[in-house]
A and B are shown apart, each in its own frame.
Chain A
């Protein structure tokens, strides 16, 4: 697992039920500036499909999805 991106902001949403992690990611993207790299940690299985679907719909970039021990980190670059 290599992660070359410098994360601007990291959000620990582990333990939050669906759609909490996605909503936290959306809030962070809205608050950030273009080019920011936001990481969200989630244990919600729904995030595996929700976060990539939203990132594509909202035209941001899903830089990486990394499995950790029991959680997943999603690294997203704000594109607009």
Chain B
């Protein structure tokens, strides 16, 4: 009888404890490139040859015969996502506009995005005078975005729930186009307007390059007027969109400047960054969902290359009002009008125009430009000595 008891207890213990002991700790996500060679390397999702071929498509210049336009901002993905390597950031901004009536924001005629280029001068978009809400938005880094996509929405929601009420980020859910617009936690774009890299790719292909695809089958208008670029829709059969998404999913994370990061100043600055409270929103560590997790509302399964990886984005992928909001509403509703996504600071050493609009040029001024939800944290920064401020900025310059 006693033996049977041992058996029962042993079974329960084994069932409940042993698998936990076997659960692997997350491993570090690989770097996107080696600082020495500056060569992009696959994170293992696809082999290097496939990755290089995907990159070539990401860099490919589109022309009128490919369906470029009628209005557009760039001829290739890499035109805006290139620094210091393909997939990185750039100084290029896009222009958005609309109207605020004191209660609600409404889009500019034809949509809030005002394209800067057109295939015909007759199609050129312009900001119409009475749309007084106007803002520039810098293009964003896409390196490591596959890991960001692989973060469970609940992880982001939990980050928000653990932030102090006065600084709590807003978690929004946005349509995943490839899953019949079922919603998932937004994480891409300054307004967290996308949750999947495929949706993001199709959106950017249409709105930045004017190329339609099955997920975005209709060309943009010119300030609301339908114009024809002469190429039947969809201009891409979906293959390019898939390749763009695969390329981004296959990139590693932006690597740090390891030499600078190892200096005493950067290490002291790293401590100060946490001490003053920056990491409340510029979150240092996030672990992606386990490999095999079905995400994007069933459209994607997290691969072994992306699953259970520790990343250091220095961002929470949530929307906050830090006094810098751009006044534009996209997928998050009116409460997000003056909110923007916490800028993930990984790779920010490659950026010299700061904040969402690129209007701030020094690290100190960028920090001081934070207000609203960030007020207490920034006041902690103000209390630092100049030596400490320089250490903190040295740390930022190592990211």
Answer yes or no: are A and B bound together in one complex: no
Residues of A within 8 A of B (CB): none
